[in-house]
Structure 1
Amino acid sequence: MESIYTYFETIPPAHRSLILVSGIAFFWILEYIIPLFQLNYKKIKHAGVNIFFTLTTVLVNFPLAFLLLKTSDWTIANNFGILQWLPELPLWAKILIGVMLLDLLAAWLAHWVEHKIKLLWGFHIIHHTDHQVDTTTANRHHPGESVVRFAFTCFGTLIVGAPVAIIMIYQALSVIFSQFNHANISLPKKMDNVLSWIIVSPDMHKVHHHYKLPYTDSNYGNIFSLWDRLFGTFQKLPKEDIVYGVDTYFNEKENSNIGVLMKIPFKTYKSPEEVDLKATNQL
């Protein structure tokens, strides 16, 4: 455990990139072997749009990384944050608690807030406009959302008092789990159900990508499923009933156009709640 901790303290940027690329490659192949849905799309063309947004995410995070490191260094130097206030723990316990809390604050909370604040939903909606959810969808984030997510990661680092090694371990796991739970793969139902009590399984997260409420506003988790169960945002939906997309932007051709997607946050739009309310009033 100490050797792993030491490795992540000084993990080279190239190795972090390798984790990202390897995860996409692994689940990409697995999607051919055990697909959840026989998606009617050109896989490489579809991936091109999502890889573009993956690259913008990297470009946003790379120059801002020093802020994350400075935040971590400050918490250690000033003995600030939950991990700094806890009594001496075994290293494995410290890592587990740190990763779990970062998953709560930097992933679950950020995701929940993006669904509740109209301005932030305008950026996050690009992630939901994918009509063919697969492992490449995991990194389909508007550059504006990447900035928001980075801010929440800094906030989580501050509150947790996370050392650099734990941040790097969390981010590596976050990338892999996001690719896993977005992947178009079919696990045995019992296995998926058991996994969903501990981690966010593919079937669990696919519910979040159903095109309308209340399912769009559920299953916000990335690594651990605990948070959705604890905060009452856990939902189930048979996979055969899932329709990908979002009801405010249902034009698949436009949702495959990078130029159109980049402009969405700056246009007038309706939140999922407003669309649902309008539909109810028309009944």
Structure 2
Amino acid sequence: MNEIINYFSSIPSSHRSIILVGGITLFWLIENAYPLFNFKYKKWQHAGINVFFTLTTIVVNFLLAFILLKIADFSVINNFGILQWLPQMSIWLYALIGLLLLDLIAAYLVHLVEHKVKILWRFHLIHHTDTWIDTTTANRHHPGESIIRFTFTALGVLIIGSPMWLVFLYQSLSVIASQFNHANISLPKKMDTIMSYFIVSPDMHKVHHHHVLPFTDSNYGNIFSIWDRMFGTFMTLPREKIIYGVDTHPDLKQHNNLKNLLKIPFQKPT
């Protein structure tokens, strides 16, 4: 564990980029070999839009990263936050608790709030307009949403009192988890079900991308499935019945036009 702590305490930006690109490449290859749905779409064109939003997410997080560093250092130096107040324990248990709490605030909570607050939903909507969910969809977030998610992450780091190595570890796992549960891959149903008791599996997250309520307002988690099960937001739907997209924006041209996607949060709701 000390090796992990040392690595993530000073993980180079290039390594974080490798994790991002490597994950997309891996799941891209797997979903091509074992697709859940055989989409009739221009895969590279679709990927181009989503990669653009991935790059804007990277830029936002890079520009604001110093805030996380300052907050994490403040928490450790001033013994502030949940992790700082816990008694001595195994470093493995300490890391697991930290990851669970970061996932609760920086993934589950912000996701839930984005669905419940209208102005935030208008930014998050871009993610749901994708009707061809694959691994590139994972970071299809409007730049405005990237700032919203960063704000919750920063709040989470402060409340939890997370050291920076744990933040970097969480972010790395979160990227891979999101790429995995968005990937257009077909796992054996039994395997997927068993997996969903512990982490957010592909089938579990695909339910969240079903085009109508109440399924859209379910399964908010990213890494761990415990929060959806604990707070009553867990739902299931046979994969054969899932229809991607969002019923308020059914026009294919709209959600495959980059300029329009960028403007959606500022358009008058219909």
- With structure 2 as the length reference, what TM-score do the two structures score? 0.99
Aligned length, in residue pairs = 270
In the TM superposition, residue 191 of structure 1 has moved relative to its aligned partner by 0.3
Q: Does 1:8 align with 2:12?
A: no
In the TM superposition, residue 49 of structure 1 has moved relative to its aligned partner by 0.3
SS in 1 for 2:149: helix
In the TM superposition, residue 267 of structure 1 has moved relative to its aligned partner by 1.0
Q: Does 1:153 align with 2:153?
A: yes
Match of 1:109 in 2: 109
Match of 1:274 in 2: none
CA distance in 2, matches of 1:204, 1:263: 30
Match of 2:178 in 1: 178
CA distance in 2, matches of 1:32, 1:133: 13
Match of 1:65 in 2: 65
The one-letter amino acid of 1:141's match is H
- With structure 1 as the length reference, what TM-score do the two structures score? 0.95
CA distance in 2, matches of 1:172, 1:62: 14
CA distance in 1, matches of 2:65, 2:119: 24
Question: Residues 129-151 of structure 1: CA distance to partner in whole angstroms, max 9, x if unpaired?
Answer: 00100000000000000000000
In the TM superposition, residue 33 of structure 1 has moved relative to its aligned partner by 1.2
Question: Residues 72-99 of structure 1: CA distance to partner in whole angstroms, max 9, x if unpaired?
Answer: 0111111110100000111111111101
Unmatched segments (≥5 aa) in structure 2: none
Question: Residues 225-256 of structure 1: CA distance to partner in whole angstroms, max 9, x if unpaired?
Answer: 00000000000001111000001111111101
Unmatched segments (≥5 aa) in structure 1: 271-283
CA distance in 1, matches of 2:231, 2:267: 32
The aligned runs of 1:117-196 (5 Å cut-off) are: 117-196=117-196
CA distance in 1, matches of 2:30, 2:268: 39
CA distance in 2, matches of 1:268, 1:109: 26
CA distance in 2, matches of 1:269, 1:208: 22
The aligned runs of 1:36-47 (5 Å cut-off) are: 36-47=36-47
The one-letter amino acid of 1:165's match is W
Q: Does 1:231 align with 2:231?
A: yes
CA distance in 1, matches of 2:105, 2:61: 18
Match of 1:277 in 2: none
In the TM superposition, residue 123 of structure 1 has moved relative to its aligned partner by 0.2
CA distance in 2, matches of 1:61, 1:148: 11
Give aligned-pair identity as a percent: 63
Q: Give the 4+ runs in structure 1 shifted more than 6 A.
A: none
CA distance in 1, matches of 2:254, 2:248: 12
The one-letter amino acid of 1:158's match is L
The one-letter amino acid of 1:198's match is F
Verify the 8 A CA contact 1:129 1:245 in the aligned structure 2: yes
Match of 1:261 in 2: 261
Match of 1:243 in 2: 243
Q: Does 1:34 align with 2:55?
A: no
Match of 2:215 in 1: 215
Question: Residues 259-279 of structure 1: CA distance to partner in whole angstroms, max 9, x if unpaired?
Answer: 000000001225xxxxxxxxx
